[in-house]
Chain A
Amino acid sequence: MVIEVLLFAAARELAGRDVVEIEVGGEVGGEGSSQLQHGKPMQHGKPGAGIDASCEGEATGNDAYVRVSCIRQALTQQFPELQPLLPSCRIAVDCEYVGPDASVPSGAEVALIPPVSGG
């Protein structure tokens, strides 16, 4: 599915825009909102441990979810200019930080959060 990712601070500057669209494979399930509640719908490798083949799957339908780790992988592949910053960034979905195994429903607001420096 296509996911829009909001960019901030140095990430926005590296990409030259404040939102990017990425094509993300490896959609999981389509059985409604229960997927998001589970938090860990699937076990798989460590984040950043090379290419995750399970992210390469075909799209399965309109009502699908993608894993956060697959969003990361797609960002790395489709926007290599973000690479220096990506490993230290967190991902937020609908204003909440999420881990690599969380499922993201289509239409959710996804944001790439570089190390913060408020105060």
Chain B
Amino acid sequence: MVSKKPHIELVDGPIQLEELRARIDHPDAGAQGWFVGVTRRTTGDLITQTLHYEAHHAMAKTELMKLALDAMQEFSLLRLVIVHRLGEVPIADASVVIGCSTAHRPETFAALEWIMNRLKKEVPIWKREVYSDGKEEWVHPELNMDPSGDSE
């Protein structure tokens, strides 16, 4: 079972899920899983018009690669793809896509959740909500500026 280096990408336009599909193919895989985080319109009573994402580019790629390599090891992943979109992301579009393949399904299910949880804690990417009433705010979870605490 030869695993390749994870595929890490930060993109400025729509994430092309179909083009990523084959990247997690592996003859020894019995499970493939995808997680697609999409931008949600509602946060409590607030209606979001659009979202903007910004990153410390070089560091975000470094942190994504670090967590990807940890995940490969921890969950015996055969293939792993992580793509995060930056800039404006309209409602219902994908802001993040994670795909992985493993020999059996429990590792795929566990890995997707573990990767998302760590991404949301460690990777220097920030989102700014633009609400329908014109108000805008950066989401900095530990400052309780995000009423839901979770927006993917």
User: Smallest Cβ distance from B110 to chain A, in angstroms?
Assistant: 17
Query: How extensive is the interface on chain A, given as a class?
Result: 10 to 19
Judge whether A116 and B62 touch: CB under 8 Å.
no
| Whole-angstrom CA separation of A24 from B151 in the bound complex | 38
Judge whether A119 and B116 touch: CB under 8 Å.
yes
Asked whether A119 and B140 contact (CB < 8 A) given A6-B56, A8-B56, the answer is no
5 closest A-B pairs by CB: A118-B125, A9-B126, A119-B152, A117-B139, A10-B138
Point out residues on A near B: beta carbons under 8 Å. 6, 8-10, 13, 85, 88, 92, 95-97, 111, 113-119
Residues of A within 8 A of B151 (CB): 117, 119
Judge whether A118 and B84 touch: CB under 8 Å.
yes
User: Smallest Cβ distance from B140 to chain A, in angstroms?
Assistant: 4
Judge whether B56 and A88 touch: CB under 8 Å.
no
Judge whether A118 and B119 touch: CB under 8 Å.
yes
Query: How extensive is the interface on chain B, given as a class?
Result: 20 to 34
Residues of B within 8 A of A92 (CB): 56, 59, 124
Q: Does B53 count as interface, using CB distance less than 8 angstroms?
A: yes
Point out residues on B near A: beta carbons under 8 Å. 37, 53-56, 58-60, 62-63, 84, 95-96, 116, 119-128, 138-143, 145-146, 151-152
User: Smallest Cβ distance from B147 to chain A, in angstroms?
Assistant: 13
SS class, residues of chain B in contact with chain A: mixed
Residues of B within 8 A of A85 (CB): 140, 143
Residues of A within 8 A of B123 (CB): 116, 118
Which of A8, A10, A114, A118 neighbours the largest number of chain B CB atoms within 10 Å of its CB?
A: A118
User: Smallest Cβ distance from A16 to chain B, in angstroms?
Assistant: 14
Given contacts A9-B54, A117-B151, A118-B96, 15 further A-B pairs with CB under 8 A are A9-B140, A10-B140, A85-B140, A92-B56, A114-B126, A115-B140, A115-B143, A116-B121, A116-B122, A116-B123, A117-B140, A118-B120, A118-B123, A119-B116, A119-B119
